[in-house]
């Protein structure tokens, strides 16, 4: 903000961002020294509000014996022969 006494204020100072939601607080402070530009003070949040991933997997409940049995029943040499790493994945 740019202003002088007895004049109409004009906006010359900007904060540029690609995400307006990260700007949490904007304060117009007094000018430094004899400047007629106010100082801008802001707070930026780098967290995404409302998005909390609290997924917890119960690995101890898996049937590891069954998983081993299923994997052992596959003939891996035949299954993967002639394939690229990406195709095998």
Q: Does residue 24 lie within any of the structural domains? A: no
Residue-level pLDDT at 50: 66
Rounded to the nearest integer, the mean pLDDT of the chain is 80
Q: Does residue 2 lie within any of the structural domains? A: no
Q: Which residues of the chain fall below pLDDT 50?
A: none
pTM greater than 0.85 (yes/no): no
Q: Does residue 63 lie within any of the structural domains? A: yes
Q: Does residue 67 lie within any of the structural domains? A: yes
Q: Does residue 79 lie within any of the structural domains? A: yes
Domain count along the chain: 1
* Distinct helix (H) and strand (E) counts, the chain: 3, 2
Q: Does residue 70 lie within any of the structural domains? A: yes
Helix (H, G, I), strand (E, B) or coil at 2: strand
Q: Does residue 9 lie within any of the structural domains? A: no
Q: Classify each residue of 12-25 as buried b or exposed e, where b means 16 or more C-beta atoms within 10 Å of its C-beta.
A: eeeeeeeeeeeeee
Range of the domain at 79: 59-83
């Amino acid at each position: 903000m740019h202003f002088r006494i007895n004049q109409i204020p004009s906006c010359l100072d900007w904060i540029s961002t690609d995400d307006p939601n990260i700007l949490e607080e904007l304060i117009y402070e007094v000018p430094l020294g004899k400047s007629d530009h106010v100082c801008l003070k802001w707070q930026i949040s780098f967290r995404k509000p409302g998005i909390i991933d609290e997924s917890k997997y119960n690995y101890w409940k898996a049937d590891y014996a069954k998983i081993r049995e299923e994997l052992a029943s596959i003939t891996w040499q035949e299954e993967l022969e002639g394939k690229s790493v990406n195709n095998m994945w």
